[in-house]
C-alpha cells in the first residue's frame, strides 16, 4: 500500500479471504503451514520488541484475542502494519503483499500456533464439571458468576489454546502468569494479608485480598512480604482424563460473542 503499490481492493479482499477465511462469509480455508511459519518469523523479527512474544505487551492491545484500540478489519490491519499509526510508536513496515498476508494469517492463529493437539470432550459435561465437581467458580469468574480471587475466565478461550488449558489443569504453576501470583504479607501490627497480586513497585503492592477487596499495601509498613506460587490445585488426580477433556472442551468455548469482536472488549490486565 505504500512503496510496493498494493493491488486493488477487490484483489486484496480475495487474497485475504483465501488466507484467513474472513471477510467474505466463506468457510475458513486451510492455511499453508509454511505461510504461518513465515508469518511467525516476521512477527518475531518485527513485532515482538513492542508487542511482546504473547502479543499482549501494549496496553489495550492483545494480538492473540484480536483486541485492538479500535475495530480493525483485515484490510485495516494491513494498513496499520504497512503504514504505521501516526502519533503512536507503531512504525510503518516495508512488507510485500505475501508477507503481509502471512503475518495476518499468523496473527489469527497465534494463540494455537505451535500448540499440540488435545482431544476435546463434551463441552456441556465440561461446564457441569466446571461449576460442580471441580469448584472452579470458587476462585474464577465466568459471565459475572463466581469469585474474583483468580483470573476472570469469561473470554479465556480466545487467549489460550486447549494445550495450554491441559497443562494448567495438570500443573498450574507451569503456566501461571506472573500476574496471578499470590502474596502473603504480615503488617507491623501482626495482621496477615493474602491475596492475588495485581501490581507491584518498589514501595507498594496492590492486591485482590482473600475477602475480594482491592487493597494497596505500603511495603515499609510490612514486617514480612513474600510472593508465592499459583494457589490453583492440580486436577491430575481429582479429575479423570475424560473429565479433564470435557472441561477443556468447555473452556475453549469461552470466547466473546461475535457482536463484541473488536469492540468494547477491554480486558482487565
Footprint of another protein on residues 205-264 (CB under 8 A)? 227
Binding residues for another protein restricted to 150-189, rule: CB under 8 A: 177-181
Site residues for another protein, 120-139, by CB under 8 A, read none
Strands 182-187 and 222-227: antiparallel
Specify the 3-state DSSP secondary structure of 239: coil
Query: Which of 7, 28, 44, 266 touches another protein by CB under 8 A?
Result: 44
CA distance 82 to 3: 9
Q: Judged by CB, which is closer to another protein: 170, or 198? A: 198
Q: How far apart are CA 185 and CA 199, in angstroms?
A: 15
- The answer to whether residue 30 forms part of the interface with another protein (CB under 8 A) is no
Chain centre distance of CA 69:
15
Is residue 53 close enough to count as binding another protein by CB under 8 A? yes
Binding span for another protein by CB under 8 A among 7-15, 93-101, 138-146, 166-174 = 93-101
Of the residues 8, 59, 257, 258, which one makes contact with another protein according to CB under 8 A: 59
Question: Is residue 115 within the footprint of another protein (CB under 8 A)?
Answer: no
Q: Measure the CA–CA gap between 127 and 262, rounded to whole angstroms.
A: 26
Selected from 95, 105, 249, 252, the binder of another protein by CB under 8 A is 95
93 binds another protein (CB under 8 A): yes
- Does the protein bind another protein through residue 114 (CB under 8 A)? no
The full 3-state SS of 59-115, as one line of letters, equals CCCECCCCECCCCCCHHHHHHHHHHCCCCCCCCCCCCCHHHHHHHHHHHHHCCCCCC
The three-class DSSP label of residue 238 is: coil
Least gap, CB of 32 to another protein (angstroms): 19
**Angle in degrees, 0-180, between the axes of helices 97-109 and 74-83, rounded to the nearest 10:** 120
Query: Which range, of 28-36, 57-65, 208-216, 248-256, touches another protein by CB under 8 A?
Result: 57-65
DSSP for residue 4:
S
Does position 45 interact with another protein (CB under 8 A)? The reply is: yes
Three-class DSSP category at 194: strand
Please give the grid coordinates belonging to residue 181. Answer: 501470583
Instruction: List contacts with another protein (CB under 8 A).
Output: 2-3, 41, 44-46, 48-53, 57-59, 83, 87-89, 91-95, 177-181, 197-203, 227, 269
Amino acid at each position: 500500500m505504500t512503496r510496493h503499490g498494493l493491488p486493488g481492493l477487490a484483489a486484496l479482499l480475495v487474497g485475504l479471504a483465501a488466507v484467513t477465511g474472513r471477510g467474505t462469509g466463506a468457510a475458513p480455508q486451510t492455511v499453508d503451514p509454511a505461510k504461518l511459519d513465515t508469518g511467525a518469523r516476521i512477527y518475531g523479527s518485527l513485532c515482538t520488541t513492542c508487542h511482546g512474544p504473547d502479543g499482549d505487551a501494549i496496553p489495550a492491545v492483545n494480538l492473540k484475542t484480536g483486541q485492538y484500540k479500535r475495530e480493525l478489519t483485515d484490510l485495516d490491519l494491513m494498513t496499520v502494519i504497512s503504514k504505521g499509526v501516526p502519533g503512536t510508536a507503531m512504525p510503518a513496515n516495508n512488507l510485500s503483499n505475501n508477507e503481509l498476508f502471512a503475518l495476518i494469517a499468523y496473527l489469527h492463529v497465534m494463540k494455537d500456533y505451535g500448540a499440540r493437539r488435545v482431544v476435546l470432550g463434551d463441552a456441556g459435561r465440561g461446564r457441569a464439571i466446571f461449576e460442580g465437581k471441580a469448584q472452579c467458580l470458587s476462585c474464577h469468574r465466568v459471565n459475572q458468576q463466581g469469585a474474583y480471587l483468580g483470573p476472570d475466565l469469561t473470554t479465556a478461550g480466545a487467549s489460550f489454546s486447549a494445550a495450554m488449558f491441559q497443562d494448567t489443569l495438570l500443573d498450574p504453576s507451569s503456566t501461571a502468569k506472573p500476574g496471578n501470583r499470590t502474596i502473603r504479607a504480615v503488617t507491623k501490627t501482626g495482621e496477615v494479608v493474602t491475596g492475588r497480586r495485581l501490581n507491584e513497585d518498589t514501595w507498594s503492592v496492590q492486591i485482590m485480598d482473600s475477602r475480594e477487596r482491592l487493597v494497596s499495601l505500603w511495603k515499609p509498613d510490612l514486617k514480612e512480604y513474600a510472593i508465592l506460587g499459583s494457589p490453583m490445585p492440580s486436577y491430575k488426580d481429582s479429575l479423570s482424563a475424560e473429565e479433564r477433556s470435557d472441561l477443556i472442551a468447555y473452556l475453549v468455548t469461552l470466547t466473546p460473542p461475535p457482536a463484541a469482536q473488536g469492540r468494547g472488549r477491554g480486558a482487565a490486565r
